[in-house]
């Protein structure tokens, strides 16, 4: 199952089987604190936490960094800039490796993928109600109930004409796989501010097209890193402006860009790139976030797992605008659940859950784990394991969570953990490890679970086997699952 969001389940399950057979599990995981790039290089990945900032499992010191956050570059200090950063954003760093699992960022850049009104009714993606697809300024957006981080919005609150800021990865169809969605209110033509990026087309007079969207500029439009006279068809730009009646954009600012990843193809530095594979031809030719990758020098086991839709982190260097992969770490959740948190341990870096029946299971928290407090009462500071421990020790035994996990180093670790005010049902979406259809006992991610065989008629006729991916629901939250769905 892939992460952020999970589009193709089969390739990663196949990957895990291959790695298990070959004994090469180390190729798919990383240590509690990942090693960053050696020397100075470019890092692209999801921001998962703060101390300084955590990206791709590495803590980067930002006290002396320069910042470019959504076009804003003048900050009094790093603390002021950090206030504009948030968990789930895809950021780009110029960074130095400290050689001890930490790094120092020289430059931190964040640009949202698109910001504007939702134009189509959010609908299940490929028939999956846990994933929704809609468009924003003609860009296709895919969000995931578990994997997308929401701010001032929620998975079940997305609606037509809601204005959202989107950050994410690109897939094979040009869709944005959202790692973060922030609500910005409702559309008011003539007032709503929007942002979009792309290549100039059909330039004529004081207007041009980005995709099919008409952009109009005038004497009040500010140009950055270019002049109005520099505009030509094919030029990559970022536009900020006001949404008009009829859908055109009156630009307040136009910034010139070679393209939205111009710093990577021309780099002589080491590269660390997170994203989702698309346009896969072979291990020697595929794309991740707009960058062509050649992984033909890696082991046959890793090459076999490279397919469209698989999320990964690649470390390597550029040659002739191609990223030559030296190491690949596969990212992505293999199981998801909605459960109750019953314990947390800062020293062991673990969190324990149950489904209301007293049977608990602990999962590791790593530097790559994304923790988010989505409750209405959430404090402004970032969620940390120590804060969770304090709350549990204070007697709160009804902390609900949506949680995604993956295997690493022979155990299971958290990919994303989001605290919720309430849950309508307990849910599990994972692969079967053990099963007895007669007694209704099933084991998933090393945790024994119970099925209500009387509530699931024909369970034996489903012909379930070890390794099959199923979704379970416990509608009355008593620890016995009474609904089952078999995933493709």
Q: What is the pLDDT of residues 101-111, one digit of tens each?
A: 789 999 999 99
Report if residue 49 sits inside a domain. no
Confidence check: pLDDT of 487 > 70: yes
Indicate if the pLDDT at residue 33 is higher than 50: no
Q: Is residue 443 part of a domain?
A: no
| Tens digits of residue pLDDT in 147-188 | 899 999 989 999 999 999 999 998 877 889 999 999 999 999
Res 287: pLDDT: 93
In a shared domain, residues 240 and 289: no
Specify whether the CB–CB gap between 172 and 278 falls below 8 A: yes
Residues with Cβ within 8 Å of residue 252, at least 6 apart in sequence: 193, 220, 221, 222, 240, 241, 242
Q: Predicted confidence band at 262 (pLDDT cuts at 50, 70, 90)?
A: low
SS3 content of the chain, % helix, strand, coil (to 5): 10, 50, 40
CATH of the domain at 127: 2.40.50.140
DSSP structure string for 414-428: EEEEEEES--SSEEE
Comparing 63-67, 107-111, 330-334, 348-352, which segment has the lowest mean pLDDT?
330-334
395 falls within a domain: no
The last residue of one of the domains, among 155, 186, 217, is 186
- What pLDDT score does 38 carry? 52
> Residue 23: is its pLDDT beyond 80?
no
CB 99, CB 161: distance < 8 Å = no
Q: Is 161 among the domain residues?
A: yes
Query: How does residue 331 score in pLDDT terms, banded at 50, 70 and 90?
Result: confident
Q: Is 433's pLDDT higher than 90?
A: yes
Q: Read off the pLDDT of residues 60-101 as tens digits, 9 standing for 90 and up.
A: 999 999 999 988 888 999 999 999 999 899 999 999 878 777
For every residue of 326-386, DSSP letters joined together read EEEEE---SEEEEEEEEEEETTTTEEEEE-SSS-EEEEE--TT-EEEE-STT--SSPP-HH
* Statement to judge: residues 168 and 204 lie in one domain: no
Q: Give domain status of residue 52, yes or no.
A: no
Query: How far, in Å, CA of 460 to CA of 238, rounded?
Result: 56
Q: Which residue has the higher pLDDT, 396 or 11?
A: 396
Span 290-309, pLDDT tens digits: 899 999 999 998 999 898 88
DSSP category for residue 52 = T
Chain Cα centroid distance, residue 377: 24
Number of domains present in the structure of the chain: 3
Containing structural domain, residue 23: 9-29+263-268+278-327
- Higher pLDDT, residue 457 or 123: 123
pLDDT for 452 beyond 90: yes
Residue range 302-322: mean pLDDT, rounded: 90
The answer to whether residue 242 sits within a structural domain is yes
Task: Quote the pLDDT of residue 146.
Answer: 81
Question: Smallest Cα–Cα separation from 336: which of 113, 210, 151, 148?
Answer: 148
pLDDT of residue 171: 82
Considering only 12-21, 169-178, 393-402, which range has the smallest mean pLDDT? 12-21
Domain membership of residue 414 (yes or no) is no
**pLDDT given at position 17:** 39
pLDDT digits (tens, 9 = 90+) for 206-260: 999 998 899 999 999 999 888 899 999 999 999 999 999 999 999 999 998 754 4
* 204 and 181 within one domain: no
Q: What does the alpha-carbon distance between residue 392 and residue 369 come to, in Å, rounded to a whole number?
A: 19
Binning pLDDT at 50, 70 and 90, where does residue 427 land? very high
- Of 274 and 39, the one with more pLDDT: 274
Mean per-residue pLDDT for 376-392? 85
Under a CB-based contact definition with an 8 Å cutoff, are residues 27 and 5 in contact? no
- Report CA 205 to chain centroid distance, whole Å: 40
**In a shared domain, residues 228 and 182:** no
**Is the Cβ–Cβ distance between 183 and 104 less than 8 Å?**
no
* Structure confidence at residue 19 (pLDDT): 40
137 with 154, same domain: the answer is: yes
470 lies in a domain? no
DSSP-derived secondary structure letter, 205: T
Smallest Cα–Cα separation from 181: which of 97, 75, 89? 89
Both 121 and 182 in one domain: the answer is yes
**pLDDT at 258 (0 to 100):** 55
Same-domain pairing of 236 and 198: yes
Contact yes or no for 423/476 (Cβ under 8 A): no
pLDDT at 1: 33
Per the prediction, the chain carries an average pLDDT of 86
Domain boundary among 327, 345, 364: 327
Cβ partners under 8 Å of residue 272, min gap 6: 36, 37, 41, 42, 43, 44, 45, 56, 313, 314, 315
């Amino acid at each position: 199952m892939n992460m952020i969001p999970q589009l193709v389940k089969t390739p990663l399950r196949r990957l895990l089987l291959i790695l298990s057979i070959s004994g090469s599990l180390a190729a798919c995981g990383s240590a509690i604190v990942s090693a960053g790039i050696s020397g100075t290089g470019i890092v692209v990945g999801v921001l998962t936490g703060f101390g300084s900032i955590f990206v791709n499992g590495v803590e980067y010191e930002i006290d002396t960094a320069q910042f470019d956050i959504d076009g804003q570059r003048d900050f009094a200090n790093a603390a002021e800039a950090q206030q504009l950063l948030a968990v789930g954003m895809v950021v780009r760093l110029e960074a130095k490796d400290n050689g001890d699992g930490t790094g120092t960022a020289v430059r931190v850049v964040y640009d949202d993928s698109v910001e504007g009104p939702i134009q189509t009714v959010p609908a299940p993606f490929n028939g999956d109600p846990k994933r929704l697809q809609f468009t924003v300024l003609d860009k296709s957006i895919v969000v995931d109930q578990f994997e997308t981080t929401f701010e001032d919005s929620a998975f079940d609150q997305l609606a037509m004409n809601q204005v959202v800021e989107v950050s994410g990865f690109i897939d094979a169809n040009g869709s944005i796989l959202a790692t973060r969605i922030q609500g910005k209110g409702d559309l008011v033509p003539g007032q709503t501010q929007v942002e979009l990026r792309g290549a100039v087309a059909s330039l004529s007079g004081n207007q041009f097209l980005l995709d099919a969207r008409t952009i109009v500029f005038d004497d009040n439009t500010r140009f950055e890193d270019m002049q109005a006279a520099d505009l030509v068809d094919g030029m990559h730009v970022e536009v900020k402006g006001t949404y008009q009646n009829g859908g055109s954009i009156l630009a307040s600012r136009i910034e010139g860009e070679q393209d939205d990843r111009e710093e990577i193809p021309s780099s002589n530095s080491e590269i660390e790139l997170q994203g989702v594979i698309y346009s896969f031809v072979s291990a020697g030719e595929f794309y991740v976030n707009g960058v062509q990758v050649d992984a033909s020098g890696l082991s046959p086991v890793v090459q076999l797992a490279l397919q469209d839709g698989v999320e990964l982190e690649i470390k390597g260097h550029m040659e002739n605008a191609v990223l030559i992969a030296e190491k690949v770490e596969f990212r992505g959740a293999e199981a998801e659940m909605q459960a109750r948190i019953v314990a947390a341990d800062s020293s062991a870096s673990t969190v324990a859950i149950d489904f209301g029946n007293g049977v608990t299971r602990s999962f590791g928290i790593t530097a790559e784990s994304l923790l988010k407090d989505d409750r209405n009462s959430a404090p402004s500071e970032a969620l940390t394991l120590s804060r969770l421990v304090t709350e549990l020790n204070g007697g709160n035994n009804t902390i609900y969570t949506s949680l995604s996990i993956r295997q690493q180093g022979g155990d299971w670790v958290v990919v994303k953990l989001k605290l919720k005010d309430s849950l309508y049902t307990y849910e599990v979406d994972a692969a079967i490890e053990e099963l007895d259809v007669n007694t209704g006992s099933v084991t998933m991610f090393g945790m024994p679970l119970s099925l209500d065989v009387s509530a699931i008629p024909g369970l034996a006729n489903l012909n379930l086997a070890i390794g099959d991916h199923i979704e379970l629901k416990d509608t009355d939250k008593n620890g016995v699952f009474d609904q089952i769905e078999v995933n493709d």
